[in-house]
Amino acid sequence: MIRPLSLLFAFICLQLTAGCLGSRKNPKPKENQAIAAELEESFRQRWIEKRAGELTAKGVAADLARTQAFEEFKVKFNFPEPKKK
């Protein structure tokens, strides 16, 4: 009788003293909308600049190359329009 009680007591003490065993950290961090929007905008700008550079190297006028790159980006990635500040 003493042995099961001592095991139960040891288990209860272990649970109470080891705080990390009883609680769990949320494994999925919350997404920060501002960071996500900034990252999307950065990706959009870099992709359009790169594609416009490729089109310009092929002989397309700079303003037309940028417009075409923007249209290709919208079709390829289906991103929403950037928000105006």
Domain boundary assignment for the chain: 38-78
Kindly report the pTM of this predicted structure: 0.58
Contact 64, 70 (CB under 8 A): no
- Written in H, E and C, the secondary structure of 6-32 is HHHHHHHHHHHHCHHHHCCCCCCCCCC
Residue in the structure block whose two tokens are 């920060």: 32
Model pLDDT, residue 50: 97
Q: What is the mean pLDDT of residues 80-84?
A: 63
**What would the pLDDT profile of 30-66 be if each residue is shown by its tens digit?**
778 888 889 999 999 999 999 999 999 999 999 999 9
Indicate if the pLDDT at residue 1 is higher than 90.
no
Nearest to 44 by CA among 83, 5, 6: 83
No. of H helices and E strands in the chain?
4, 0
Model pLDDT, residue 4: 76
Model pLDDT, residue 74: 92
